[in-house]
Structure 1
Amino acid sequence: MAPALCAICKTGRALIKRPKNHTKLCKSCFINIFEDEVHHTITSSQLFYPGEKVAIGASGGKDSTVLASVLKTLNERHGYGLELVLLSIDEGIKGYRDDSLETVKKNAVEYDMPLLVVGYDELYGWTMDQVVETIGKKGNCTYCGVFRRQALDRGAKMLGIRHVVTGHNADDVAETVLMNLLRGDLSRLSRSTSIVTGDNKSEVKRSKPLKYSYEKEIVLYAHHKKLEYFSTECIYSPEAFRGSARTLIKQLERVRPSAILDIVRSGEDMARLVPGESASSCGGCKSKTETPVAAPEDDAGGCGSSNGRNPGGEMAAMDKQLRENEEAEGLEVDITKLVLESKNRQKEKQRDSATKNGGGNPKPTTRQVLGKCQRCGYMSSQDTCQACTLLEGLNKNRPQIQI
């Protein structure tokens, strides 16, 4: 049987079956498509501006290593004009982080990028080994997550940088969407699905250039580009709730390859329904029609497949019914809405009456305002930030050293 040819160039031998849509590609075409899709995400979402100084959150793992390699390649190829710096966080986990930092140091030399390493011990006076020894493995990822987010921002401020990029991929975002849904935490849905958190007014903003890249394709890219990365999983993470969401997503992906991006897109759509919140998605893919990348069976747009999004033959009846419902909607009377409007008018009359009788003005609704922690000076919507609150509990349980 003759070997299959690449679906793009039609000449090279197909060596890779894309996890995203099962398109068969040669090595060269896969690498080019992967880089082009990341470039599409960056440009359509306007993540950078020329001359910007950007810190890459580097852990030594596959995601951050691929992110550093791709950004260096695209920065040179397309003339982004970025100044790239590696920023690593040392959580203080022996047998894990100390080994992965050696990989980061090698990458810094290979990519010719400056490197700053910031440790939990110097920022908080605790290492994660000490935290786990004090509180146990259950719930330790909550501490690490809060400390790490703040450490990235503090490290960026040390470097005089206001933009940090992280290696969060489509699998990570889909896991976070599921976790927020399973916990019923819709208020976090917008932030977790947004490709950029923070803006030009924030002290430090973060972005995810690999938001629409599958984890398996990141591994394939690193393999075929011969990138060196650290592949050992954190020794404390198996106890995390995220592991359950990851297992569920992997099972869904086996049945439907586009499940990961479907969850990401669904999370973006649901986030827009949260009052006062908005979710950002790829700027060039907000329309229902996405540009295919020359795939014969499935489409593979810059930010993912649109399979399962357009009505097919089996959905014709439902599609027709929905259109008829829309046409009849103008003839309907919503009794619940009328009752609600009546109650609102009654409440307004009661407030006006209370004001005239000296009852005072009703208390206005307030929204959270981003300020600074009174203890450490880190940006926070509360008087005390999450990190300081967690540290207060840890310090109370720290064993006293008797002299």
Structure 2
Amino acid sequence: MPPALCAVCKTERALIKRPKNHQKLCKGCFIEIFEDEVHHTITSSQLFSRGERVAIGASGGKDSTVLASVLKTLNERHDYGVDLVLLSIDEGIKGYRDDSLETVKRNATQYDMELKIVGYDELYGWTMDQVVETIGKKGNCTYCGVFRRQALDRGAKMLGIKHVVTGHNADDVAETVLMNLLRGDLPRLSRSTSIVTGSDASEVKRSKPLKYAYEKEIVLYAHHKKLDYFTTECIYSPEAFRGSARSLVKNLERVRPSAILDVVRSGEDMARLVPGATPDACGCKGKAPPPPQSAADDENVGGCGSSNGRTVGGDMAAMEKQLRANEAAEAAGLETKVSVSRTEAQRPNSQKQQPEQQKTTGTRLPIITKQTLGNCEKCGYLTSQKLCQACMLLDGLNKNRPQITI
């Protein structure tokens, strides 16, 4: 049987079967399509403005390394006019972060980018090794996640930068959607599904150029581009709650490859239920131009989401609006009475619907209040509480810190 040809160029031998839609591509076409899809996400969502400095959250792993490589390529190819800088956070995990930072240093040389490294010990007086030693392995990812998010903002502020891009991919966003659904945390779901986070009150905004890119395709891109990245998993992460959500996402992907992007789009849809929230979905609203030749099956999806059998979004918000309108109409006595059909009128009295059951009973939906952002009383970081999460966690740690007596 002759080897299959690339579905796009029709000349080169197909070496890659895209995890996203099972399209068979040659190496060159896959790399070009991957870069074009990231470019589409950037331009349709208007992530960058000419002349701004942008910090890339670099950990040395596959996601941030691919992000740095793709942004450098696209910035030169399409003339974005942005100045790219690498920003790394040293959590203080021996045998893991110290090795990955060596990869970041090599990347800085390879991509000719400025590198800034900020450590937990410098910012908080604690390393993650010390945190785990104090609280144990359960729940330590909560501390690291809160500290890391704030450290990225503080590092960007040190560099005088107001925009940080991170390597969060479609798998990461789908996992976060499921985690927040399981927690019942709709406000956080709204923030996590946005491609851009941060308001006018925020000192630093963050964006996810790889939001619609599959993790498997990121690995394929790094492999075929021969990128230098660090592959070891964090030694403290196996206990994380995210691991359960990740397993669920992978199982869904095996059944239906488009499930990852379907979950992402569903999360964006649900985020519209939060009053005042403006989820930053891709500007094309799921209507990305199709690839030169798409797969024939129903699993084919565009660069920024599945458009098969779905609308541009907002269905749940429209449904809630209609329910609230029905509830208001009922309160005003304007509900529509349901007429009894002849068939029902002929039934025995015991089976007839009682008059009070004919009235429409409105279901009162919970009111979701919008958070009011202010500044932490201790460190000045943006928060909706008196103290930011990092300061509250640090207070608990400092109370348990062993006292050294001389």
Same fold (TM over 0.5): yes
Question: Within 2, Cα distance between the matches of 1:367 and 1:295?
Answer: 42
Change (3 A) 1:381 1:337: closer
Partner of 2:296: 297
Residues 276-302 of structure 1, C-alpha deviations (whole Å, 9 max, x = no match): 32311100235xx44210214254422
How big is the shift at 1:336?
Answer: 4.8
Q: Which runs of 5+ in 1 are unaligned?
A: 311-325, 343-364
How big is the shift at 1:369?
Answer: 3.0
Residues 113-137 of structure 1, C-alpha deviations (whole Å, 9 max, x = no match): 0000000001000000100110011
- 1:126 match: secondary structure: coil
Partner of 1:372: 375
Residues 73-127 of structure 1, C-alpha deviations (whole Å, 9 max, x = no match): 0000000011000000000001110000000000000000000000000100000
Question: Within 2, Cα distance between the matches of 1:122 and 1:340?
Answer: 59
**Could you tell me whether the CA contact under 8 Å between 1:171 and 1:214 is conserved in 2?**
yes
Question: Within 1, Cα distance between the matches of 2:328 and 2:380?
Answer: 46
**Could you tell me whether the CA contact under 8 Å between 2:31 and 2:221 is conserved in 1?**
yes
Partner of 1:216: 216
Between Structure 1 and Structure 2, which shows a larger proportion of helix residues?
1
**Could you tell me whether the CA contact under 8 Å between 2:21 and 2:258 is conserved in 1?**
yes
Output aligned runs, 1:123-162, within 5 Å: 123-162=123-162
How big is the shift at 1:273?
Answer: 1.6
Change (3 A) 1:216 1:149: same
**Could you tell me whether the CA contact under 8 Å between 1:21 and 1:305 is conserved in 2?**
no
Question: Within 2, Cα distance between the matches of 1:383 and 1:307?
Answer: 45
Output aligned runs, 1:252-401, within 5 Å: 252-286=252-286, 289-293=287-291, 294-298=293-297, 299-309=300-310, 336-341=327-332, 368-401=371-404
Aligned-residue identity in percent: 80
**Could you tell me whether the CA contact under 8 Å between 1:175 and 1:246 is conserved in 2?**
yes
- 1:86 match: secondary structure: strand
Question: Within 2, Cα distance between the matches of 1:341 and 1:95?
Answer: 67
Residues 55-75 of structure 1, C-alpha deviations (whole Å, 9 max, x = no match): 000000000000000000000
Change (3 A) 1:68 1:402: same
Question: Within 2, Cα distance between the matches of 1:214 and 1:295?
Answer: 17
**Could you tell me whether the CA contact under 8 Å between 2:301 and 2:308 is conserved in 1?**
no
Partner of 2:107: 107
Is 2:87 the partner of 1:55?
Answer: no
**Could you tell me whether the CA contact under 8 Å between 2:261 and 2:306 is conserved in 1?**
yes
Partner of 1:346: none
How big is the shift at 1:153?
Answer: 0.1
Aligned length: 359
**Could you tell me whether the CA contact under 8 Å between 2:22 and 2:295 is conserved in 1?**
no
How big is the shift at 1:373?
Answer: 1.3
Question: Within 1, Cα distance between the matches of 2:92 and 2:326?
Answer: 60
- 1:284 match: secondary structure: coil
Question: Within 2, Cα distance between the matches of 1:243 and 1:307?
Answer: 29
- 1:39 match: secondary structure: helix
TM-score (normalised: structure 1): 0.86
Question: Within 2, Cα distance between the matches of 1:335 and 1:67?
Answer: 47
Residues 12-53 of structure 1, C-alpha deviations (whole Å, 9 max, x = no match): 100000000000000000000000000000000000000110
Output aligned runs, 1:76-115, within 5 Å: 76-115=76-115
Ranges of 4+ aligned residues in structure 1 off by more than 6 Å: none
**Could you tell me whether the CA contact under 8 Å between 1:20 and 1:304 is conserved in 2?**
no
Question: Within 2, Cα distance between the matches of 1:240 and 1:283?
Answer: 33
- 1:155 match: secondary structure: helix
Moved more, 2-11 or 195-204: 195-204
**Could you tell me whether the CA contact under 8 Å between 1:20 and 1:305 is conserved in 2?**
no
Partner of 1:321: none
Output aligned runs, 1:192-271, within 5 Å: 192-271=192-271
Partner of 2:357: none
- 1:283 match: secondary structure: coil
- 2:284 match: secondary structure: helix
**Could you tell me whether the CA contact under 8 Å between 1:258 and 1:307 is conserved in 2?**
no
**Could you tell me whether the CA contact under 8 Å between 1:6 and 1:12 is conserved in 2?**
yes
**Could you tell me whether the CA contact under 8 Å between 2:202 and 2:382 is conserved in 1?**
no
**Could you tell me whether the CA contact under 8 Å between 2:275 and 2:369 is conserved in 1?**
no
Q: Which amino acid aligns with 1:163?
A: H
Partner of 2:20: 20
**Could you tell me whether the CA contact under 8 Å between 2:275 and 2:370 is conserved in 1?**
no
